[in-house]
Structures are given as structure tokens and as C-alpha cells.
Structure 1
């Protein structure tokens, strides 16, 4: 369960993307408009329409796999800092989280598709060891920290300090 919760917290990246889009909404620009005339007419203001558009994009990204998020960020100049080895670890962590939440940790076809060189077979229990947890924490922390720092610098985002005493 801890593993699943930590991967869920990885959604921080999606929140970071939201913050970047608020500061640099022109990143959303594309050649195929996705705003309906109905949305334009119902919007109270341009700011409300922009907020709705940002939320729509963030929601769309959060439902896609990590590879799609990475590809979109790279295409938009958002500095998602991940190397090939870490990317594979992240994809596997997300796949593990999904079978924990949706399949009682039993390996399914979706898991094998995400992690094709897995030693686990469809129908087998995906056992987790303490090292799996530590490796996942280290990989996700590295990605989030590096991406956060580069994004703060590139887009002049405000850094929020967290009071550790509150925890």
C-alpha cells in the first residue's frame, strides 16, 4: 500500500505542469484548436476559459502513461529530467501501482505490456521487496527534484517552502 501511495504522489509532476501552464499559457498553443464555441460563449472571462483549458489538458495528461507525458513535456520545452534507465523504473513503478490497486498485485497483460522483460508471468503474484520500495522512492525523488528545480528556473516559478515541523 505504501508503494501505491508514493506512486500516487508522483502526480506532483502533473501539478507542476499545471503551474507552468498558468505562467506560460502559450505552451498550449497548437494548430488544431480544441476549444468549442460553446465553451467560449459560456466562459465568464478569458481567464476562466484559460483555467478551464489548462485543467482539461492537465486532466488529459494525468490519464496518459508516463511515456506520453514525457513526450508532451519535451515537445513543449518543459524540462522533464529523466534518463532511459530511470524511465524504465518509473514505468515499472506505475505498472506495479496499477496491479496493486486494480488486481490485488496479480500480474496481468497490461503489466507485461508496460514491463516486457519482467521475470513475472501473467497470473503470478508480483511480490515486492524492501529494495523495490527504496529504488522507486530514489528514482521518483530524483526525477521530481531535478524537474522541479529546472522548471522553477526556466519558468520563474515561485518556490514554496514547506515547514517540516508541520509533519
Structure 2
């Protein structure tokens, strides 16, 4: 268990730079307007899948098509890595929930979770992504905890315990 926590912490640290390279297409353009991000869930899925396609080691897990608001997308067959997004009536992203189970020490799940987080922080909360990376890495290293950030209309919440991890990113009114 301790190995997976340290491994995930290392992944978060390593992916800080990687996400900025792969997420540049949207990062400067996404903001919050009227309680929604100025992107669609499909934009997020495309950014994640573009990153996965550039993974020469084949470790990262990709996502299928966006199934609809509130529907979970499973990145692995056992549901150990799930992404759920909600959109408003105009189709713009309003919230994201990323869940992953690191207790099984599955390299693909843990590495993919770190990569997804990295992309999400850089795209949706770019101004404080480094602070978020640092705090979440610390919580993962400790094995459990919570942290919340609010900046420029974006609320980021993270909860970790017993290898179960929940990241929520919401656009605020």
C-alpha cells in the first residue's frame, strides 16, 4: 500500500510538466461563465485521449465516447478508474468527478489517474494547478486527507482514504 502511495505521488510530480505540453490546446481558453466552464465534456475526453495516444509505453488508459451528463466513463474493466462529467443545457461542462482505487496497486490505474488529474488541473484550474498538485501529492503520501481550493469560480475538492480517491472540480456561479 505504501509503495502505491509513493508511486502515485511521484507520478503527480512527473506529470506536472507533461500535462502542460499535452493540454496547451485548451488551457488558455477555458474559464467559468454563468456557472459552467467554457468547454464541453467532449473537449476534456479529447484532451485525455490525445495524451493517451502519445503514451509510447502504453501504460495510460483511454476513454470511450462521452456517454452523457452524469454517466460514468470507465477507463478500466473493473471500474477502478471512473470519470463522470456533467453539462448544462447548452452542453458546457459544469462539473467533473474522477474516482480511482489505488489500493490494488494497478500501475495502469494509478498512472492514468495521475495523468488525468494533471490534465484536469491544468485545463480547469490553471492559475493554481501547482498548488493543487502539491497538496494532493502530500495527501496521497500521507495515505489520507482532504483539501479544497477555490479560485476564479472553480472549486476543487479532493478526498483520499484507504486507497479510494475522489477528485471533484466544479464551476461556481
TM-score with structure 1 setting the length: 0.28
Q: Which has the larger radius of gyration?
A: 1
Higher helix share goes to which structure? 1
Higher strand share goes to which structure? 2
